[in-house]
């Protein structure tokens, strides 16, 4: 954002007033730590019963013009609620616990660690329709590293919630940055959104890319480029 600031030097009678302009650097807003340090659902949080959830499915079936009493739909409410329990299990999992155990036997390793092509499926919070793709995650450790599978598990925890791709990207980066305290984090996500490919504009195959960089990846363009080069390497 540009800010116009009046000169503090008094203007001479034969000299017009000058205006100086400076650019104020802005940074992305920080996420609330509660988003990635604990489970999203508290044990004492009031929630509808399973019977109430199944009744809501019956209501939606009637809304679209179906007969909930026909044979093929008799067990659909139960199946839908069970599917929700699986698709949205990330609300009940704690991201911090996944990254809690680290290993110190790194033989002085001081470069970044990259896990590429982490497949995921999530649900768009605007239409509750799936979006799916791959996450690429890198971080530069300080003395200790985390198990590689933990980065995939972290991705799944956040993906198995109602999401936007932008927020998903930011949450993964923030959790790694806050819990592991690395020298930098890089996250790139590429995904296809069915709310765009099978409805609305119906553009099948369109991909969305989002990225988030912290620390050395944010401040050093050469490290960003090296990360992107490895993600888009010749083996892809």
Domains, the chain, ordered by start? 50-87 (1.10.286.10), 104-231 (3.30.1130.10)
Q: Interhelix angle for 165-180 vs 148-159, to 10°?
A: 140
> Given this model, what pLDDT does residue 172 score?
96
Model confidence, pTM: 0.83
Catalytic (active site) residue 126: yes
Catalytic (active site) residue 225: no
Is the separation of the CB atoms in 130 and 121 below 8 Å?
Answer: yes
Kind and range of the H or E element at 210?
Answer: strand 208-214
Catalytic (active site) residue 45: no
Catalytic (active site) residue 136: no
The residue length of the chain stands at: 236
> Quick one: which of 151, 197, 177, 114 has its CA closest to 159?
151
30, 52, 125, 143: which is the annotated catalytic residue? 125
Q: With a cut of 70, list the residues of the chain below it in pLDDT.
A: 1-30, 36, 235-236
Distance CA 229, CA 225 (A): 6
165, 171, 178, 223: which is the annotated catalytic residue? 165
- Nearby residues of 19 by Cβ (< 8 Å), 6 or more positions away: 4, 5, 6, 7
94, 127, 190, 224: which is the annotated catalytic residue? 127
Catalytic (active site) residue 193: yes
93, 123, 193, 223: which is the annotated catalytic residue? 193
């Amino acid at each position: 954002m540009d800010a116009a600031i009046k000169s503090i030097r008094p203007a001479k009678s034969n000299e017009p007033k000058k205006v100086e302009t400076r650019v104020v650097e802005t940074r992305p807003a920080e996420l609330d730590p509660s988003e990635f340090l604990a489970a999203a659902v508290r044990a004492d949080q009031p929630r509808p019963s399973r019977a109430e959830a199944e009744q809501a499915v019956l209501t939606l079936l009637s809304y679209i013009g179906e007969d909930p009493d026909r044979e093929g739909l008799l067990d659909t409410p139960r199946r839908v609620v069970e599917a929700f329990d699986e698709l949205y299990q990330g609300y009940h999992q704690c991201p911090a616990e996944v990254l809690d155990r680290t290993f110190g036997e790194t033989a002085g390793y001081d470069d970044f660690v990259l896990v590429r092509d982490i497949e995921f499926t999530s649900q768009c919070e605007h239409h509750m329709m799936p979006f799916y793709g791959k996450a690429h995650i890198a971080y530069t450790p300080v003395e200790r590293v985390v198990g590689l599978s933990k980065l995939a598990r972290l991705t799944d925890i956040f993906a198995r919630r109602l999401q936007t791709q932008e927020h998903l990207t930011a949450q993964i980066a923030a959790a790694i940055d806050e819990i592991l305290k690395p020298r930098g984090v890089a996250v790139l996500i590429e995904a296809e959104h069915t709310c765009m490919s099978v409805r609305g504009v119906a553009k099948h195959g369109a991909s969305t890319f989002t990225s988030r960089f912290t620390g050395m990846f944010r401040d050093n363009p050469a490290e960003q480029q090296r990360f992107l080069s490895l993600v888009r390497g010749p083996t892809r």
